[in-house]
């Protein structure tokens, strides 16, 4: 499927983009391999995950990648927001909110029945976009895989 590149620039010059060719996987891997949700993840796995999702890069005015997230979706009924990250050097500027807002505003994903995500520390951010706890957690099941 041919994807249309979507971009949005803030007044301060930060850019969110779906252009896969701009992604800096050295930086993305460093961030994610040090995160609480994917410690030690292999770079090949990070790149494979991006290939099979809608990856979004966040870029500083000088073009350096400042953040990342990806949306895993069938583009018809469901989406999962994952790997949301803003580099420490640029935190505290509302860039996480900008990145998540950009991801959620994708025109192809506006009529989905459900979005999901997991977080241990950013509930306040995601609540601003309508995320909340499961209405009936007894209906959700998880099949854990190997811890790699």
Nearest to 14 by CA among 56, 44, 45: 56
For the entire predicted model, the pTM comes to 0.94
pLDDT digit string, tens, across residues 125-142 = 999 999 999 999 999 999
- What residues does each domain of the chain span? 7-130
Count of other CB atoms within 10 angstroms of residue 39: 10
pLDDT digit string, tens, across residues 26-37 = 999 999 999 999
Nearest to 26 by CA among 54, 83, 65: 65
Superfamily in which the 7-130 domain is placed by CATH: Gcn5-related N-acetyltransferase (GNAT) (3.40.630.30)
Phi/psi for 48 (5° steps) reads -65, -40
25-33 vs 43-51: helix axis angle to the nearest 10?
A: 110
């Amino acid at each position: 499927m041919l994807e249309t590149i979507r971009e949005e620039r803030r007044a301060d010059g930060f850019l969110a983009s779906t252009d896969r060719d701009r992604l800096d996987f050295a930086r993305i891997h460093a961030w994610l391999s040090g995160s609480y949700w994917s410690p030690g993840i292999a770079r090949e796995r990070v790149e494979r995950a991006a290939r099979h999702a809608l990856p979004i890069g966040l870029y500083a005015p000088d073009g350096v990648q400042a953040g990342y997230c990806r949306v895993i979706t069938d583009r018809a009924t469901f989406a999962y927001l994952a790997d949301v990250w803003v580099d420490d050097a640029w935190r505290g500027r509302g860039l996480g909110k900008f990145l998540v807002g950009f991801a959620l505003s994708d025109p192809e994903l506006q009529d989905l029945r459900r979005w999901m995500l997991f977080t241990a520390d950013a509930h306040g951010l995601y609540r601003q976009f309508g995320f909340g706890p499961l209405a009936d957690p007894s209906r959700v099941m998880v099949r854990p895989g190997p811890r790699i």
